[in-house]
Structure 1
Amino acid sequence: MPQAIDGIAVARLYGEPLFRLPTDLYIPPDALEVFLEAFQGPLDLLLYLIRKQNFNILDIPMADVTRQYLQYVDQIRKHNLELAADYLLMAAMLIEIKSRMLLPPKKTDDGAEPEDPRAELVRRLLEYEQMKLAAARLDALPQLGRDFLRAQVTVEQSLTPRFPDVSVDELREAWADILKRAKLHQHHKISREQLSVREYMTVVLKRLQGERFVEFQDLFDVTRGAPVMVVTFIAMLELARERLLELTQAEAFAPIYVRLAYTPA
């Protein structure tokens, strides 16, 4: 252990106390430079200078503001010339406004008072300040992931089996299959029969009474011919439209079943 000079180590090097700085230690001049203010552009810096000294933004003392602005620009030019380009453009605008204010005002053709050279700059500063205040208010609002987290709750529910819906194409194919089988039961007895859709709606409902499921094709009496089957099919469509019965199947391309619509108490 080195002998302590004042009893206090100024640093530690590889775990060992260092009581005296090396004589050949080189520290760059800007190594410990600290920037206390960070601005988001020329307007932000200009607004900061005006508000810091309580200047009236509608009556800006251009000489004082321009001098302070140029002092800051000189500092950033030493470190970042590319960043200083935007600030130099604003500095040129300030110098131009100050020059126009030193000249005697020229009246317009209609005899009205000329516009204040600072008017456009004041308008831009006021608009920027409004946007900056609005952004600060938005940033103060609670944000998901920064100020709060969304709660997630897992709820276990019993899964009830859901039967696939019967498409129109599947219903048409089932109906075409029934017609095809009906042609195998043909006879030449000619008779005129009055068929009522409402009557066959009642027949279908009575057929489904007390049954959990009835296969679609079992509701048709193929021995009575096509007219009866057509009226029976129309009666089923009317009952389905009025939601008095349901058409379902266990899976795709499976047989179609018919049952009375379930109405909860």
Structure 2
Amino acid sequence: MSQKAELSLPPLAEAEQDLPGLPATVDSVAVARLYGEPLFQLPLDLYIPPDALEVFLEAFQGPLDLLLYLIRRQNFNILDIPLADVTRQYLSYVDQLRKHNLELASEYLLMAAMLIEIKSRMLLPPKKTEDGSEPEDPRAELVRRLLEYEQIKLAAAKLDALPVMGRDFLRAAVHIEQSLQPRFPDVEAVDLRDAWLDILRRAKLTQHHRISREQLSVREHMSIVLRRLQGKRFIEFEHLFDVSRGQAVLVVTFIAMLELARERLLEITQAEAFAPIYVRLAYQPS
């Protein structure tokens, strides 16, 4: 330690000039630092209390944890616990605990009293039961508690070994620029209505008065629309209507198009708001 201090501190002559208030003659090596200031000589009246340093070799979560540790460490059969040896070791630990923490030792003293009670019951002749069956072993209840505690302890150790977010791994967070993902606006019902009214206005300009009765089929016009879209990437919405055939055909064609869209055979899209509406066949995965 002194060699390291010699390398880090200046010689005495220079140190006396930099540090006012130091005695005229001191050792050239600081043995320690007290509140950041170099200490060149240990005080003669230095007192170290006996409890300044404590070493704890084992830490237990409670009386059952200590008792289970004593049994497993010596490979005792938990179904046939030698209570005399275990109680003696248990009391030795409790005596050490009482010297430092009396409140914590009270919980362990309760288990010690239980062990002594069980041992005394084993020394007495067993009482016969009313039905004449063999009496229960006085250690049975303690064994059940120890086995249940051991199962819970092992389960807790397995849970603690599982990876935990924030401790063993972090959730991946990826930022994607919205501009890199073009999203076309959805076609609203109002857009279809306005496009349909525009077609009706154009149909009235080229309307011919005919006296005839024509049987129109929605299914037939559905097939006509599908045939017109076959082999093409898309067709503008208004180009699917033949305004020269009159308003009745336009209505049936529009109904046929809505029916195809409802059955997911058509896709109606537009590139941006207020842009022309286009119709194309729906994508069918092979």
CA distance in 2, matches of 1:246, 1:171: 14
Tell me, yes or no, if structure 1 residue 83 matches structure 2 residue 99.
Answer: no
Give the paired residue count. 257
Residues 218 and 190 of structure 1, relative CA distance in 2, 3 Å threshold: same
Q: Residue 56 of structure 1 corresponds to which residue in structure 2? A: 77
Q: Residue 30 of structure 1 corresponds to which residue in structure 2? A: 51
**SS of 1:247 mapped into structure 2:** strand
Q: Which moved more, 1:187-196 or 1:89-98?
A: 187-196
* Contact persistence 1:182–1:225 (CA under 8 A): no
* Contact persistence 2:200–2:247 (CA under 8 A): no
Q: Give the Å deviation of 1:251.
A: 3.8
Residues 55 and 177 of structure 1, relative CA distance in 2, 3 Å threshold: same
* Contact persistence 2:199–2:238 (CA under 8 A): no
Q: Residue 110 of structure 1 corresponds to which residue in structure 2? A: 131
Matches within 5 A, 1:1-265: 11-13=31-33, 14-18=37-41, 21-140=42-161, 159=180, 161-166=182-187, 169-170=189-190, 173-174=193-194, 177=197, 181=201, 189-205=210-226, 207-208=228-229, 213-221=234-242, 224-240=245-261, 244-251=265-272, 255-261=276-282
Residues 78 and 251 of structure 1, relative CA distance in 2, 3 Å threshold: farther
Residues 78 and 255 of structure 1, relative CA distance in 2, 3 Å threshold: farther
**SS of 1:72 mapped into structure 2:** helix
Which ranges in structure 1 are unaligned for 5 or more consecutive residues?
Answer: none
Residues 174 and 82 of structure 1, relative CA distance in 2, 3 Å threshold: farther
Offset from partner CA, 1:160-216 (integer Å, 9 cap, x none)? 63423435x447645774697489678875421022334423443455578665443
Report the TM-score when normalising by structure 1: 0.73
Report the TM-score when normalising by structure 2: 0.68
CA distance in 2, matches of 1:121, 1:15: 59
Which ranges in structure 2 are unaligned for 5 or more consecutive residues?
Answer: 1-24
* Contact persistence 2:264–2:282 (CA under 8 A): yes
Higher relative contact order (CA 8 A, sep 6+): 1
